[in-house]
Amino acid sequence: MLDVSVRAGILRLLQRLVHDGEMAMVFITHDLSIVASVCDELAVMYRGRFVEHGPVAEVLRRPLHPYTRALIAAVPVPDPSVTPVPLPAKLLAGGAVPHRGCRFAPRCDFAIAACEASEPGLEDVVPEHRAACLRVREISL
């Protein structure tokens, strides 16, 4: 783990290189609190599959997939007056990847029988914003 000031310096350098047009970058992180300042697009991966993709501001403002929502809910808020929302026990329990169906189903509060039948692929839900969830239009729009 890098010191906060060293990390900030590295992120500034990466931003400058990208915005000066000197390079493109794929930035892989578990820290969603910094992606908005570094990235133009955000792709969320769960156990080897992309479950959501879109412009970074749009995905952070309106997450469509239940896993993306959980990741965003887990970002600490640096304000002692804000009470963190507890994550669902089912989500924290983890579990093995199922042999069929949506691989997030064992941890998903919205799972129904159809989710265990086939694995959803990424589909456009709104322009430029894709998610891999059978129920995305019911639970997110």
DSSP code per residue over 6-19: HHHHHHHHHHHHHH
Q: Are 55 and 40 in contact (CB under 8 A)?
A: yes
Q: Report in angstroms how near the CB of residue 69 gets to ligand SF4 at its nearest.
A: 10
- C-alpha 106/C-alpha 116 separation (Å) is 9
Q: Are 47 and 97 in contact (CB under 8 A)?
A: yes
Q: Report in angstroms how near the CB of residue 63 gets to ligand SF4 at its nearest.
A: 12
Alpha-carbon dihedral sign for residues 112, 50, 123, 34: positive
Say whether residue 42 binds ligand SF4 (CB under 6 A): no
Say whether residue 44 binds ligand SF4 (CB under 6 A): no
Say whether residue 59 binds ligand SF4 (CB under 6 A): no
Say whether residue 111 binds ligand SF4 (CB under 6 A): yes
User: Which positions from 86 to 105 touch ligand SF4 by CB under 6 A, shown as an x/- string?
Assistant: ----------------x-xx
Residues in contact with ligand SF4 by the rule CB under 6 A: 66, 102, 104-105, 108, 110-111, 115, 120, 133-135
